Amino acid sequence: MNNKNNYRIAIMGLLSALVFVSSMIGFSVPLSFGGDFTKIHIGNIFCLLSGLILGPIYGGLAAGIGSAFYDLTDPIFISSMPFTFCFKFIMAYICGKIAYSFNKNALSIKTNILAGMSGIIVYIILNLSRTFIVDIYFKELVLNAALLNIFISFISSAINGVIAVCMVIPLNISIRKILETNNIFEKIRYNGEK
């Protein structure tokens, strides 16, 4: 394994830990039907940041692993862990892919806003689709109850998404400056390689 991958894995571990801890900062909201919960939290900030710093693959892994470990520690969300891993991976992957597709350093504010919004929107669609399928086909809720759950989940996801996109831009710029000053960013930068 080359030195660049060692640095990436180390930063991926750090970002996974930040995703995990930041997912704890928030509060759970019980949904009206089916016993589900949704959560307002700041974990998505660090999921997007993972994609912006490490690129699609390593950033996606950091987001997925950190979020999955959070789900494993919370009995409310433990059954969602495989979906959380996949959906958060996809969110950070899309964010990183878009950010680095338009700018090799992924520092353009407009591109990062587009990348963050794209990642969040895809995540919301995936999560709401899963919620709807589970409510209708597994919990056998009536359509109105399932749609109410979708609406409540959409509100919390939208709040999380807006907070994440607004906060990740200045955070990315600040952390990137620190990484560049210490000559770390060149060692971890995504160059389009697999």
Which pLDDT does position 29 carry in this prediction? 62
Q: Answer whether residue 68 is part of any domain.
A: yes
Q: Using a cut of 0.95, tell me whether the model's pTM lies above it.
A: no
Q: Answer whether residue 34 is part of any domain.
A: no
Q: Answer whether residue 33 is part of any domain.
A: no
Q: Answer whether residue 116 is part of any domain.
A: yes
Q: Answer whether residue 194 is part of any domain.
A: no
Overall domain count for the chain: 1
Q: Answer whether residue 170 is part of any domain.
A: yes
Which pLDDT does position 48 carry in this prediction? 97
Give 61-129 as a 3 state SS string.
HHHHHHHHHHHHHCCCCHHHHHHHHHHHHHHHHHHHHHHHHHCCCCCCHHHHHHHHHHHHHHHHHHHHH
**Domain range spanning residue 159?**
3-25+39-184
CATH assignment at residue 65: 1.10.1760.20
Which pLDDT does position 104 carry in this prediction? 72
Which pLDDT does position 10 carry in this prediction? 94
pLDDT in tens, the chain (194 residues): 578 888 999 999 999 999 999 988 876 665 545 556 667 789 999 999 999 999 999 999 999 999 999 999 988 889 889 999 999 999 999 999 999 988 776 678 899 999 999 999 999 999 999 989 998 999 888 999 889 888 888 988 899 899 999 999 999 999 999 998 998 888 888 887 66
Cα-based distances in Å from 125 to 88, 122, 192: 12, 5, 26
Q: Answer whether residue 162 is part of any domain.
A: yes
Which pLDDT does position 71 carry in this prediction? 92
Q: Answer whether residue 153 is part of any domain.
A: yes
Give the bridge partners for 38, in sequence order. Answer: 29
Which pLDDT does position 30 carry in this prediction? 55
